[in-house]
Chain A
Amino acid sequence: MAASYWSHVPAAPPDSILGIASLYRKDPEKNKLNLSVGAYRDDHGNPTVLRVVRKVEQEPASDHEYIPMAGIPSFCQAAAELILGGKAKSIIEKRVVTVQSLSGTGALRVGAEFLYQFYHPTATTEKPHVYIPRPSWGNHRKVFQSAGLKVAEYRYFDSSTCDVDGKGLIEDLKNIPCHSIIVLHACAHNPTGADPSEELWKQILQVVIQKHHLVFFDSAYQGFASGDLEKDAFAVRMFEQSGIEMLVAQSFAKNMGLYGERVGALSFVCKDSSVVSCVQSQLETIIRSMYSSPPANGARIASRILNDPVLLGEWKQELLEMSGRIQEMRKMLYEELVSRKTPGNWSHITKQIGMFSFTGLNVEQVRYLREKYHIYMTEDGRASMAGLSRETVSMFADGIHDAVVQFSLRTASSCL
């Protein structure tokens, strides 16, 4: 037998989320709790299907035809209006290009490929780097690197205050070279849950205009963070109103519960409507050599919901319920920890917003929770508040209390 082609291939660097997910799967314990994956669960710990999604699903199945490479047009239009606002100047002036993508990851990847090939703001061969916040979603770095772009970080989270490091953020954005690509989380920052204040957003916008940075928004939780679609899109809309050009990646995985169907959109806000057709054609070329055309099912459901006023109202109602439940879980967890007199300041649990909370636990504490309590979190201390329920909150609080007390002498994060 000839030598194998692949004997020299080393294992790829391990993916932290996948690693935890496979450990969770292998665990035989019945009362195990998965707080590592960002999937919303109801109060009984079961995956939720939104009622409005279920309603649309029951409608007669449409036939399985290929959809255009850029996706279903009604979906693309509705997605752009959702994030930018129906009355946004850029939409009325027809200078927004939107393509359907394979959820948030797909949108980021297609955007990254486009930027690698076509973003040449200066007359040098040194290509602009992509700057992601520190910390950010684990896959951001990999997605941009796979497209060939170099990735660096800007300061974002201050672990001493468990809040956004506004001063450090602005300083970093001012110090990096002009025309860099800046990735910003639109709301409900993943993994920390700490969002910039309105004032800080204004400062960021000022620096972006001054330094001519290209902004790439990642919006995965619109409606999920505060329960209000307009409020969660505040930052994106403020940037759009200023007239700058930017990219927006949207995901409907969490806010519409369409995880498995990979529904997302990538929008380019351009200065002039004359470039729209060129940008669209280049995007289609990139999509064509990646997956030909996007899947139809999920986008059809999303399009139905976004374009029908009645269904849209029902969806908004459910968003309020889901975000409300998460806020309730945060409050309960905080109260449980305070009642146990767990050492440390836990107010960040209620101050942070969105699905995740950066609990402040270190690696040893996280591993202790996993081994003794069968509670699974990612090793940076991120826990999914959406995975908690009324029964499991006290178990989680017990675990945190125990872990903090056990390892209190070696606490890494000073915000506890």
Chain B
Amino acid sequence: MMKLLETCRNIYPYSSIRRSFYSSIYSRMPYRDLFSERKEPFGKMPKEGIQEVWKNLPPATLESYLNTSWSYQKSEENNKLDLASDVILDEAGNPFVFKSVRKAQEKILPQSIFSTEYSVLGDQEFLDCALKLAYGSEIYQNEHIAAVETVGGTGALRTAFEFISRCFISLDGQKPRVYVPSVTWPNHKDIIRSCGLKMRDYRSYRKNVQGIDLKSCLSDLFRATKGSVVLLQTSGQNPTGTDFLPEQWQEISQILKDRKYLCVLDMAYQGLVSGDVDTDALALRQLIADGHQVIVCQSLSNSFALQGNVIGTLSVVTSNKQEKENVWSHLRSLTHSMHSNVPNYGRLIVKTVLLNEELKNEWIEEAQRLVESIQDTRQALHDKLVSLDTPIDWSFLLQQKGLFLFTGLETEQIETLRKEYGVYLQPDGRLNLGALRMSQVERVATSIQKVIHMESQTEEKTKEE
């Protein structure tokens, strides 16, 4: 494998062929080992004089979804519209802020956030209220759940997979394989790869099938090695917007039990999917009730519209107090070697909101209203698309839930949308409804319609030819 890489490097020094070859290699090998087995030095090392250590360092293969945000920022068009990133905007186009969060900020302001005692042990109060939100106050028991604060959802996922890589032994004594949904947040795969774990896909989304493709999902999961790790998103699937139904969760729970899979849950949009925090956490609570020892990676940045404040928690359900202490010591050791402690400001805001009954209820109400307005935008976009002349049945858009719309557009169509019409979507076709204002719905709908027609026109032309 390495010989192949060397040959490739020698024949195609800086071409795009090499780049795409690298990216296909990237997707198969554990990232950590890719360059660490290298035999040739990277740098220019003369015997005398100053070394140039990074001389032949290759550039990173910039993932296509990052290319999108990069090209959005570089673009000088006036009417560019960013529906690719996941910020939530209000009707005026400014970043959306919950009123309850604003009130919490004002509460914190008189006293400097730096005047509180700096503790290396973390904030147990914050952990308790954040986890009670996820697990429900009845289920959450401090004694059995080992939890640490992390730097957002990404930090939680990274710590979780580092922990699995370090401490979880699969039934065959090897490092486990992680099963991820075939269409998922691209960073999931990067994180898992950088922990040195191998991955396999399981199907759960099929393009023209409404809802989860449960049959393929279960059959793929059934064929996995016993004792593997399965990654699931609780609600508000990113990017497909297609969640498992409660009865489907029961079937998943059954297969997890039968095949002894370890389940890692990614909880990032609690409260912003259905408008009710308890409904969005139903999947987690059902799995706990069925007795599964799940690992929960919770992100609170989106739920409180506090992007830029990276707030998250990681919790591991164990079976007794001693186990919890042991597991916690590993989690703490992992976060300690990554960043010692988490930023204070974000968790202070979340704590202030959740511990104050009034603010908490206000936040829940506002989340509901936000979800309703996003639903209205979704409905408006759907209606507009239906009213325009397109060969596609858009009813699947209404079946999806959460902040995102999975348009199902092809790569070329998305490129055209970006180049000709200045509308930026994620390369997999994800559209952020949180950033789409009512006033722009018509523009986006007409652009999509034109792009589809252009595509069908070129198809007809090639058919004629």
Contact = CB atoms under 8 A, between A and B. Distances in A.
Do the two chains bind? yes
Contacts of A146: 162, 334, 337-338
A66 B336 CA distance: 24
A298 B167 contact: no
A363 interface: no
Interface string A280-324: 011011101111111111100000000000000000000000000
A18 B43 CA distance: 40
A334 interface: no
B97 A63 contact: yes
Interface stretch (A74-82, A118-126, A345-353, A390-398): A118-126
Contacts of A270: 52, 54
Contact of A64 (B38, B43, B117, B305): B305
A259 interface: yes
Contacts of B52: 245, 270-272, 275
A187 B52 CA distance: 26
Contacts of B190: 285, 288-289
B113 A260 contact: yes
Interface in B279-333: 291, 293, 305-310, 316, 318-320, 323, 325-327, 329-330, 332-333
Contacts of B257: 2
A92 interface: no
A290 B337 contact: no
Nearest to A259: B118
Interface in B325-351: 325-327, 329-330, 332-334, 336-346
B191 A289 contact: yes
* Max chain A Cβ within 10 angstroms of own Cβ: one of B42, B51, B191: B51
* Max chain B Cβ within 10 angstroms of own Cβ: one of A6, A9, A17, A143: A6
B326 A6 contact: yes
A6 B293 contact: yes
Contacts of A258: 114
A257 B66 CA distance: 34
Interface residues of A, number: 94
B342 A262 contact: yes
A88 interface: no
B60 A282 contact: yes
Given A106-B339, A139-B340, A295-B308, 7 more contacts: A15-B333, A121-B45, A123-B40, A146-B334, A291-B151, A292-B310, A295-B309
B339 A63 contact: no
B55 A12 contact: no
Contacts of B307: 64-66
Interface string A201-245: 000000001001010000000000000000000000000000111
Contacts of A116: 32, 36
B39 interface: yes
Contacts, number: 279
Contacts of B308: 64-67, 293, 295-297
Contacts of A171: none
B325 A11 contact: yes
* Max chain A Cβ within 10 angstroms of own Cβ: one of B87, B194, B336, B342: B336
A120 B53 CA distance: 8
A11 B340 contact: no
Contact of A4 (B55, B194, B319, B334): B319
Contacts of A121: 41-43, 45, 51, 53
29 contacts: A47-B117, A57-B109, A57-B114, A64-B305, A102-B151, A102-B339, A103-B340, A105-B337, A118-B54, A120-B43, A142-B336, A142-B337, A209-B50, A243-B50, A244-B51, A245-B53, A258-B114, A262-B342, A271-B53, A275-B52, A275-B54, A278-B58, A288-B187, A288-B190, A289-B191, A290-B154, A295-B343, A295-B345, A297-B345
Interface in A1-31: 1-2, 4-15, 17-18, 21-22, 25
A322 to B, nearest CB: 14
A143 B58 CA distance: 25
